Chain A
Amino acid sequence: MLTKRIIPCLDVRAGLVTKGIAFRENVDIGDPVAMARKYYEEGADEIVFYDIAASSDRRDILIDVVDRVAREIFIPYSVGGGIRTFEDMRRVLLAGAEKVSVNSAAVRNPQVIAQGARAFGSQCVVLSMDVKRVERSEKIPSGYEIVINGGRTPMGMDAIQWAMRGEDLGAGELVVNSIDADGTRDGYEVTLTRIMADTLGIPVIASGGAGIPEHLYEVFTEGHADAAIIASMIHYNTYTIPGIKQYLADRGVPIRKVPMMQ
């Protein structure tokens, strides 16, 4: 039986992890490779690197990070943030990432999903979407709207319809990031996650809002999520991955523990 995946997200800017640095005395903690390695050892099931700078001239720095990570981390990891073109996808995959996630670029040009899936396989292409709750309308019957540019630009598109289209185009997984929940630490958007999980056939990853281990429990049970992204709750050392996993295991959620090896 599949276990529920816990996926730390590292926001990377100019080769450094942005979250957490100010609260850390250990200077190494700003190094994405070192942080990824630590989470890997602790039992992260996967890691997401999110490129904050996300302009093409800065992209080389992230490529270098991915390249170094490939030598140290033997779990899957993905790269997102500012992936615009097929060529952007190709570069991060060649550097060693398993998956690449597309967000705004796919909204503007949905064919980038199909191109990626054809060339690299669906399992490499993650469709990530930022979603905001709005009044239900004819255009947005679910009351969940797609927004881009970090939540600044509403697109007048229904999130559920867009997710279904993304699946049809060949996305292998879906990351549902709630703009309303993001950064609140009040919990994931459980209702939205559940609608997505029940509507789609591909795995659904919840994102945005995790503050305490109970939030992961909610989104895995009520929200039907296959995986959940966490960030600040571990970056600030408030919780640890083994601690969160133990909490979930105690409540009957199937999770993977790091095996003791001989």
Chain B
Amino acid sequence: MIGIVDYGMGNLRSVESAFEAIDQKTTVIRDPRELAEVQAIILPGVGAFGDGMRNLRESGFVEILNEEVLEKEKPYLGICLGLQFLAEKSLEQGEHDGLGWITGTVRRIDPESAQYRVPHIGWNDLRIEIEEPIFKNLEDGPIFYFVHSYYMDVSPEDSSVIAATCWHGQKIVAAVQRGNIYGVQFHPEKSQRSGLCLLRNFVDQALKD
């Protein structure tokens, strides 16, 4: 069973439906103690970083995520905000601490020219930096749906976690991976076949053992 964390940041409906479409059972988790029961954790979310981290902290998710994901090495897939939370901090509307699992800072997208719009909305092709199992069976330069105004600026000492990037007037980290921890800036649940394929790959990888 895969747990989808509900911490009040938007609708989880599309994420649930996408897993349904690949015949993978999920359960929505509102009580952090239930994280111990699932085999893998999905943390979706759109909205403001500060609000999201506050909700996670206040509902007691932060300690238990540290325990389950960092200590027990339970597979984790962060989507959009769920990737950005991995950073040490975000500069979105002030300065907010993240989970700090990856050395880096979340910053506003600052493209080299005005033809690149912010928010970065739409379908962009990935440059795969590391052939991770989650990219299995995808076409070359797979295209995924993005919608965000901030991105994770991974510190040079942690650059080995960058699994994929895309271009939007600047290089944008599109996916990270370190051991059991995965994060994607795009929305696999909204990326048609490529998205469902990536979710399937994550599930296969997560439930392998």
Contacts and interface: CB of A to CB of B under 8 A. Distances in A.
Contacts of B101: none
Nearest to A40: B192
A3 B120 CA distance: 11
B122 A74 contact: no
Contacts of A71: 17, 20
A98 interface: yes
A72 B11 CA distance: 16
A203 B117 contact: yes
Most chain A CB within 10 A, of B116, B193, B197, is at B193
A122 B168 contact: no
A1 interface: yes
Given A2-B120, A93-B11, A260-B139, A98 B47 contact: no
A123 B145 contact: no
Given A74-B18, A76-B147, A259-B138, A5 B122 contact: yes
A202 B117 contact: yes
Nearest to A98: B190
A201 interface: yes
Interface in A159-209: 172-173, 201-203
B125 A76 contact: no
Contact of B17 (A2, A40, A70, A201): A70
Majority SS of interface residues in chain A? loop
A121 interface: yes
A1 B125 contact: yes
Contacts of B115: 224
A203 to B, nearest CB: 5
A202 B119 contact: yes
A43 B191 CA distance: 11
B124 A261 contact: no
Contacts of A95: 13
Interface string B169-209: 00000000000000000010111111111000000000000
A3 B186 CA distance: 14
Contacts of A224: 115
